[in-house]
Amino acid sequence: MPRVVVIGSANVDFTVRLPRLPRAGETVSGGEFYRCFGGKGANQAVAALRAGAEVRFLAKLGKDPMGEQLRDHLEGLGLPGRYLLFDESAPTGTALILVDQEGKNLIGVAPGANRTLSQEEVKSCADLFDWGELLLCQLEVPLEAVEAALSLGREKGMKTLLNPAPVSPLPEKTLGLVDVITPNEGEAKSITNCENVQEAARRLSEMGPSQVILTLGKQGVFYLKNGEPCCMPSYRVRAVDTTGCGDAFNGALACALAEGRGLEEAVRFGAAAGALAATVKGAQDAMPFREEIMSLMGGKAEK
């Protein structure tokens, strides 16, 4: 079984499903409320676990009832609780999410304890990097913690994967520690200052990562294979909530790469997981299981 280490955020999500998304200053009524668990790190850890990997997840929670509930939830899914740290002074991270009838969303995040994860705490969990084969990080925790993890992962011979979300300035020294990078279109353009997808991908490859994969939503996935541009159309599904689609893609991709799958097959595996996540409400609850992913892959990806 492939061994994946995920370092990132864990949140409690408060979601309202509305007939449509409100404009600035407008109230839209008639919605359905539900609470679930999220955070890019936790979502991707659950996605990798359900996709077939053995997963260890390092995160920081608030020492409060929501943090305890989140810990119990993650442990119940099969993620070891010993790497879930607690902060006595900061609350557990929360996200407020609005979703329309087509699955499109608006998200605001109060990171809370996620923003207190330090490089010292990452280094204190050195056994993770001896154990794992692939390291998956995002940017909802401090950059210094991400850099410490990437550096340790590289030192221990792990494959390193960075999902640069939410987008923020990335020093080239950080990108130099990354083997695989998976921005969406907007993140890629922001990091590189390139307006063209293909130009942005090439610029990213020049900045360090040997494998560049851009997720384009309904338009599928663009990636470079041996320097050559490749496109993979998305799987056609009926979208209910797109909140966790990118996280499902990244977690499943991490699992596939850790298994030793080739780039094209790993991207297809991730794309199938991302599509399936759009068909279920919520974030972590929407992460598909391996059998579901393989079943969808049995059909042809369509534009």
219-267 pLDDT tens trace: 999 999 888 999 999 999 999 888 899 999 999 999 999 999 999 999 9
What is the pTM assigned to this prediction? 0.94
Q: Are 243 and 105 in contact (CB under 8 A)?
A: yes
Q: What is the CATH number of the domain that holds 136?
A: 3.40.1190.20
| Helix, coil or strand: residue 103 | coil
On average, the pLDDT of the chain sits at 95
Residues contacting residue 80 through CB under 8 Å, at least 6 positions apart? 56, 57
| Helix, coil or strand: residue 55 | strand
Separation of alpha carbons 146 and 31, rounded Å: 37
173-227 pLDDT tens trace: 999 999 999 999 999 999 999 999 999 999 999 999 999 999 999 899 999 988 8
Buried b (16+ CB within 10 A) or exposed e, 218-257: eebbbbbeeeeeeebebbebebbbbbbbbbbbbbbbbbbb
Which residues carry out catalysis? 247
Report yes or no on 25 lying in a domain: no
Report yes or no on 26 lying in a domain: no
* Domain count across the chain: 1
Task: Please report the pLDDT score of residue 283 as a whole number.
Answer: 85
Task: Please report the pLDDT score of residue 299 as a whole number.
Answer: 52
Report yes or no on 302 lying in a domain: no
Separation of alpha carbons 59 and 63, rounded Å: 13
Report yes or no on 303 lying in a domain: no
Could you tell me what percent of the chain has a pLDDT over 90? 90
Report yes or no on 166 lying in a domain: yes
- Domain residues for 12? 3-20+33-297
Separation of alpha carbons 5 and 213, rounded Å: 20
Task: Please report the pLDDT score of residue 235 as a whole number.
Answer: 95
